Structure 1
Amino acid sequence: MALPSPRDPEVTRAVLAGWIGGRVDGEVSVAPPSGPAATGFSNETILVDATWDEGDGVAEHRLVFRVQPTSHAVFPHDLFEVQHRVMSALGDQRGLRVPRLRWYEEDASVLGAPFMVMDRVDGEAPTDNPPYPTEGWLKDGSPELQRAVWERGLDAMAAVHQVDWKGHGLADLDPCPEGGSRLGARVEEWAAMLRWASPEVRQAVPEAGLAWLRENQPPDIADPALCWGDSRIGNQLFDGRDSPATVHVAAVLDWEMVHVGDPVQDLGWFTWMDHTLSAGLDVPRLPGLPSYPETTARWEAATGRSAHQHRWAEIQAGVGFAIVMVRLTELLKDSELFPHDTDYDRTNMGCVALERALAALDVHPDDLA
């Protein structure tokens, strides 16, 4: 779900032409901006084709402007600059592709908020809307293509967990640099976000999930890793989609939830989100996707780490996604895209999937005090 862009295309075109012109030599020509029919909640995205002379002739540059969210922020804490810093650090990571970053603008007077500029990457992501188990290029592809996409995406996620996060200057992403539980800190971050997203209305399903996570929290690992956060194939661009032999991850996107911690959390989010997009909607998984046990075994082999706490991490992912959906419901109501009496904050696929998973653990929201 997304919000319509409020920008006037011609005004935006002129602003961007002038801004780019201040950073390159020679005359700049900018085509009318385009992009998704509606911009996303996490970041506004503006696609621009621009030309300028780089010294050996005029060349066209396909650019992406990502603008920091302001009035419609999904998360309570702004990590926009952190996203840019993380993507800059990962540009040379073996086995991991991120878009090439060109510029970062802190001056909010240009587009109303800070923004980053990167080269556009050829590729397509499996869609969330409509969910890829129901329609789209991945569903229409062969089982062999579906397996290849899943495995390539999983391997790219595992590459994140190999990053020397301290050596790349990302030590400030560690929530417990002097001791304490990183898993506990993550759970409490979700709890704080739920209070922020729904300060007046009880959300029994994610609250029950939070209680279970606290009661069953495993011990922290001694060697934390960089965690992508929003780790799923829907946040990856795939190129070479005509053949299982050539399909590959062209870019890993969306670092709003990046942190340092136990990387099994990324594995949990990776499998849980696929489960939610299928079981949460009562549709089958795509037939070519490897089983979750196969997935955890492949991740363990790639990282040399244990997936013993995978189920706990899946429940944490279920709680986190349910809380995100609570926040998105409020944004959709504020934008008058949903009626104000909607119950979508409780009936969305994320809450449905989480409530079923908790019931299998004999945890029931109605039992909450």
Structure 2
Amino acid sequence: MKISEFKNNFKSLPIAFTGLALGIGGLGNCYRQIFSLNNQSQVGNWVSCAFFPFLILFVLMILFKYIFHFHELKKDLHNPLTVSLMPTFSMCLMLLAGFIGMWDRNITSPCQISAATLMVLAIAIQFILLFYFGKSIFYNHIKKSEVVYGSYFVPTVGLITSCTVSGNIPAIPNIFFQVIWYLGYFMFLVSLSVITYLLLFKIDKLNKEHYPTIAVWFSPANLSCAGFYQVFILAANKQVDLYPQTFLNVIAILTTMLGFVTTVLLYFFIFRIFVHRFNHNLKTFSPILCSLSFPCAIGVTSMIFTAKAIGKINADLNSVFLNDMQSTFGVVSIIFCAITSAIILYLLINMLIFAWKTLFKQKSD
């Protein structure tokens, strides 16, 4: 195969690769957190190393696509579906920053400097894509009453992804991530009613092939829950005293309940998707199914952070009830992690096959 043909094949790679990369990175973070629940943080760090090479590979593939074919970037920015999924690229960088920072928490270390720099860059890219999305797509698309996608939450609530790994980057003050959480949570509350209404009453206009994108609707609640516990409970020390305990309790209860319910509903939704494909004999794999990956992973993450937060609160209280609650959420997170691992493994295998066929196809094929 000629080099020119190989470069040209990158044009056919879908943005779904960064969506899957985000799910894989999120799952790697889940395994690391599960091991930390059992005081085996170092083991968890090494286990997560098995996941992040795939995240880096898929991110580089999409990066090369836009480098080799810059016109594809312009085209994707004007497509209502792809532009809402493009922030998964910056969200992947946030997870990668957390992965780099976890190896050395000394704020003057090369790991922390690199992680903090990458995190700031990722957040800046997220804001740029959010601004473009809001100005060019969201306003005009809603104004014209055209079809909407569940992935419209990605540019807005996706900011909170940085909060889920903030504990690995002490070089950036925790108060910074608390502000990011407030911004993401506010945009979640504002966009929830609008997007939900349009999904319910404009669903007849949505192409059935794009149904899996609705899965993203289930992720903001869990992302808000995981981010809240990380920046306000787990990573907070003196900062936690800045907020009334009643406020923290109310947000904790609401986000946890909503996160648990949406994760269970998500699994039923995914089951229905695969039953539909089986009943209609849809054997051809579609990259749009990668929309299922991150919502599953963040559902697991929120349950793990809930268990860890309860454990931290119970350290001083030594309550039997809280101890049982921690154990319950720990078991729930392991069950959710097993289900999510099976789903993401299926997506990973099929996307690797898809990537091989796409990148190494020849004109004669």
Higher helix share: 2
User: Does TM, normalized by the shorter one, top 0.5?
Assistant: no
| Band of TM-score, shorter chain | under 0.3
- Alignment TM-score, normalising by the size of structure 2: 0.26
Higher strand share: 1
